[in-house]
Amino acid sequence: MVQDKSYAKINLFLEVLGTRRDDYHQIRTIYQEIDICDEITISLDEVLTVEMDYPRSDLWNDLATLQMQDNIVYKTAQLMQKEYNLADGARILIKKNIPSAAGLGGGSSNAATAIKLLSTLWKQNLSYDRMYRTAVQLGSDVPYFLLGGTALGEGRGEKVTKLTDVDLRKILLIKPNIDISSSKAYSILKEYGDNQGWINFCNVSDRRELPVHCFNRLEKSICDNYPEIKKIIDHCNNNGAVNSILSGSGSTVVSFYNEDEIIDEHYRYFNDLGYWACKTSTKH
C-alpha cells in the first residue's frame, strides 16, 4: 500500500496571451501550492477501481454521479498500464477536501500524485521525465503538480519552471455554489493581454508585497458572467483584504490579508452565507 497527500494550488498571476493552433490558449502563470489537500491511498488489486470519499456532498454533486471511467485518476492509471504494459490492477481511494471546478487544481493534483504513487506501487521507479510525459497527456496543470511549490507555467501551462518559494500565511479561499469549467472560462474571455503585467509582477522587489500585484486575466469576463463572484471580490477588497483575485479559471476567490482579525471576520461572514470558505497559506 502507498499513500500521499495531494495539494491544491492557486494562481498568483495568470495572463492569457492568445490562442494556439491546437485550440488551447497561450498563457503565462505563477502556480502556487497551498496547504489544503486531498489524501490518496492505493493498494494492489486484480482490477483497477477508484473510490471517492466526499466530506461535504453539496460541494461535489456533479462528481458524485461521475462514472469511474471518467475520473482523471482512473484515466491516469489506465494510461500507465498501457504505456508500461502492466497487468497489475489497483484499488485507489481518494479522500476529497478540494472542491471541484474551483480553479484549485484538485483533479490535476490527484492525477500527478497518482502517477508518483503508482510508479512506486507497480515498481516502475519512473524518472521525472517519464512521469512528465504521462502527466502532459492528462491535462495542462498536471505537470506542475509533479514539482509543486512556486513555479512558472508557460505554453498552455504545461511548460513548468521551478521558482523560489513564496511564503504567504494569511489566505482565504471562498467558493460560491458555482462551478466553472476551464473550457467555459476561456470561451467567454473578451480580450488578451501582453507582457506588461508580467514585467510589473516580476519587478516586485519585496516578495511580501506580491499579493498587491497578483492578477488574473480571466477574472473580468468571469465576473461579468457571474456577478456573484464579483460581489465576493468587492466585499473582501472593500473590507480590509490586501487584494482578492480569481484563482485559475474559477470559481474560487483567493483573498490575501495582513491581519488575523480581518481574515477571521471574512471567514465567518462567507460561512454564514453558505459558501465554502477555507483559511490557508502557501505550502511550506
| Domains identified in the chain, total number | 2
Q: How far does Cα 71 stand from its chain's mean position?
A: 16
Do 198 and 132 sit in the same domain of this protein? no
Q: Give the range of the structural domain holding residue 240, as residue numbers without chain letter.
A: 171-280
Give the domain CATH number at 53. Answer: 3.30.230.10
Give the domain CATH number at 255. Answer: 3.30.70.890
Active-site residue, from 141, 170, 179, 283: 141
Do 149 and 182 sit in the same domain of this protein? no
Do 25 and 153 sit in the same domain of this protein? yes
- The type of residue at 255 is S
Q: What is the pTM of this model?
A: 0.93
pLDDT of the residue at 60: 52
Dihedral of the alpha carbons of 249, 252, 257, 259, in degrees to the nearest 10: -170
Residue pLDDT, tens place only, 211-269: 999 999 999 999 999 999 999 999 999 999 999 999 999 899 999 999 999 999 999 99
Active-site residue, from 9, 96, 116, 170: 9
Q: Is 9 a catalytic residue?
A: yes
Last residue of a domain, one of 127, 162, 197: 162
pLDDT > 90? residue 194: no
Do 178 and 240 sit in the same domain of this protein? yes
Do 156 and 183 sit in the same domain of this protein? no
Do 155 and 266 sit in the same domain of this protein? no
pLDDT > 70? residue 104: yes
Q: Is 159 a catalytic residue?
A: no
Last residue of a domain, one of 105, 139, 162: 162
Dihedral of the alpha carbons of 277, 5, 142, 47, in degrees to the nearest 10: -120
Least confident of 2-16, 28-42, 100-114, 187-201: 187-201
pLDDT of the residue at 204: 77
d(CA 191, CA 200): 19
Do 150 and 188 sit in the same domain of this protein? no
Do 116 and 134 sit in the same domain of this protein? yes
Do 34 and 155 sit in the same domain of this protein? yes
Do 116 and 226 sit in the same domain of this protein? no
Last residue of a domain, one of 136, 162, 188: 162
Do 97 and 205 sit in the same domain of this protein? no
Element counts in the chain: helices (H) and strands (E): 11, 11
Do 117 and 157 sit in the same domain of this protein? yes
